[in-house]
Structure 1
Amino acid sequence: MEKAFELAEVKDDKKAQYASYYLRDEARYWWESSKALLDRKVITWEKFMETFLEKYLPIYMQDQLEMRFLNLRQEDMTVAEYEVNFSKLARFAPEYVNTEEKKAKRFQQELKPGIRSQVPLLEIRNYAILVHKAIIVEGEKEATKRESEGKKRKFEESISDQGSSKFRGKFGKNGGGQSQKFQKFKPGNGNKKNRF
C-alpha cells in the first residue's frame, strides 16, 4: 500500500481511506465496525495500521516471526533461498536490520561456515553486494566440489580397470577360468608324478 501511496501521491490524511477501499469480504466488514469504534473524523495511516495489525498480525504472532528471524540460518538452503527468507522475516525485527551495515552483518553471520569464512575478507558493508558475493563464493565452491568428485570418479574407474586387467592377465581371458598351469596338476590329466 505504501508503494501505491507513493505512486498515486496520496496525502497523509487520505491514506487510511485509500487503503480501506481495497479491503474485501471479512476484512471490509471488520473495518466498518472498527472505524465506528474509533470515533474519529480523520483516521491517520498510523492508527489504521495499528488497528489492522492488532486484528491480522497480533503482538504474539509478531514476536514469533521475530524469533523465526533471529533463529534463521542458511543450513541446507542456497544463498538465494536464504536471502528470500531473510528478507521476508527481517521486517519483523527492524532493530537488527535498520542500517545497511547491520543488515549485511546479520546476513553474513548466519551463512554456512564454508561461505561465511571467505566473505569477511571482502569487508562488505552493503547488503546487496554481500548477497551477490556470497552467491559467487557458493557457485565457486560447488564447481570445485563437482570437479573434485569428477577427478575422484575417474581415478576410481582407472583403478578398477587396472585391477580387472590384472585379474584377466593372471587367470586367462575369461577371468574366472582356470589357467593352463593349474590344469597340469589336475587329477586324471595323465601326470602321475603331480597327482593329488
Structure 2
Amino acid sequence: MERIMADLYFTADQKLKGAVSLLRDEAYQWWLIVKEGTQPDRLTWDLFKTAFPGKYVGANYIDARRREFLNLAQRDRSVAKYEAEFLRLSHYVLGMVAYEYERCILFEDGLRNNLMVLIASQRDREFAVLVKKAKITKDVKRTERHKRGKNKRDLEPSSSGMRPKKKARSDGPVRVGPPVAPTRVALCGQCGRCHPGECWRTTRACLRCRSTEHHVWDCPLRIDQVQALSSGTVQPPRVV
C-alpha cells in the first residue's frame, strides 16, 4: 500500500488519511482510541506505521523484518530496488534511522563494494542526495563496461573475414575402413637381419635372385653384371 502511495506522490498527511480510510470494524475503533489519547501534532504517518504493526502484527514478524533490515545489502539489485527495500524495512527500525545521517550510513554500508568505495569519502548527510549519487555512479560504471566490451570486440578479428580452411586433397586411392597397422618383421636368429620369409642361410638360396639352384657367386645375374662392367657399359653400383 505504501509503495502505491509513494508512486502517486502522496504527502505524509495524505498517506495517513488513506491508510485510516482502509481500516474496518475493530481496527478503525482502535484508531479512534489512539486518536483520542494522542495530541493532534503527534498524529503522524510515522506514528501510524509504528502503532499499527505493534497492535496487529505479531512480535515474531517484526523481529524477522528487523533482522532482515540489519542483513540488507544491495547484492545483485539495482540501486532503485535496493532503495525501495531499504525504505520498506526501515519502518520496523525507526529508532535506528531517526536521523538523516544515520539513515545515510546504513544505506551506504549495504551498497556493493565498487559503489561504496567511490562515494564513501563524501559522506553525504542527505539521504536523497546519497541515493542520487549512487544511481549516477552505477550508470557511469555500466557505460564504462559497455565501452570496454565494444573496444574489445573491435580489436578481435571478424569471423566473416576469415577464410575457411581447405581440406587436404589426396590424389591417390582412398582407403575405406579401419586403419591397418603396419606389420613388424622380427629379427632373424640365423643372419641377424630383419627380412620376411625363410632365411637364406637355412634354404641356402642365392642372395641376388633367391634361387635355390646355385649360390650368389654362381648367379647368372652377377656374371652378366661383371661382363658389363668389364666392357664399360654399366657403372658399378655406388656403395652407401
TM-score using structure 2 length: 0.53
Distance 1:74 1:126, change over 3 A: same
Match of residue 230 from structure 2: none
| AA partner of residue 95 (structure 1) | G
Distance 1:30 1:82, change over 3 A: closer
Mapping of residues 1-196 of structure 1, within 5 Å: 3-4=13-14, 22-24=21-23, 27-29=24-26, 31-32=28-29, 42-44=36-38, 52-156=52-156, 158=157, 160=159, 164-165=162-163, 175-178=165-168, 186-187=171-172
Q: How far is the alpha carbon of 1:56 from its aligned partner?
A: 2.1
Deviates more, 1:79-88 or 1:56-65: 56-65
Distance 1:103 1:63, change over 3 A: same
SS, match of residue 149 in structure 1 = helix
Distance 2:21 2:158 in 1: 69
Q: How far is the alpha carbon of 1:68 from its aligned partner?
A: 1.1
Q: Report how many aligned residue pairs link the two structures.
A: 156
SS, match of residue 94 in structure 1 = coil
Q: Is the 8 A contact 1:20 1:31 kept in 2?
A: no
| AA partner of residue 13 (structure 2) | K
Percent identity between matched residues is 22
**Higher relative contact order structure (alpha carbons within 8 Å, sequence separation ≥ 6):** 1
Unaligned segments of structure 2, at least 5 residues: 1-10, 174-240
Q: Is the 8 A contact 1:79 1:135 kept in 2?
A: yes
Deviations 1:55-109 (A, max 9, x none): 4223222211111111110000011110111111112112221111111111111
For the aligned residue pairs, the C-alpha RMSD in angstroms reads 3.6
Q: Is the 8 A contact 2:97 2:103 kept in 1?
A: yes
Structure with more helix by fraction = 1
Distance 1:131 1:20 in 2: 27
Distance 1:21 1:135 in 2: 34
Distance 1:93 1:30 in 2: 23
Distance 1:2 1:64, change over 3 A: same
Unaligned segments of structure 1, at least 5 residues: 7-17, 169-174, 189-196
Q: Is the 8 A contact 1:104 1:127 kept in 2?
A: yes
Q: Is the 8 A contact 1:115 1:138 kept in 2?
A: yes
Poorly superposed stretches of 4+, deviation over 3 Å: 18-21, 29-32, 42-46, 48-55, 159-162
Distance 1:153 1:20 in 2: 54
Q: Larger radius of gyration, structure 1 or 2? A: 2
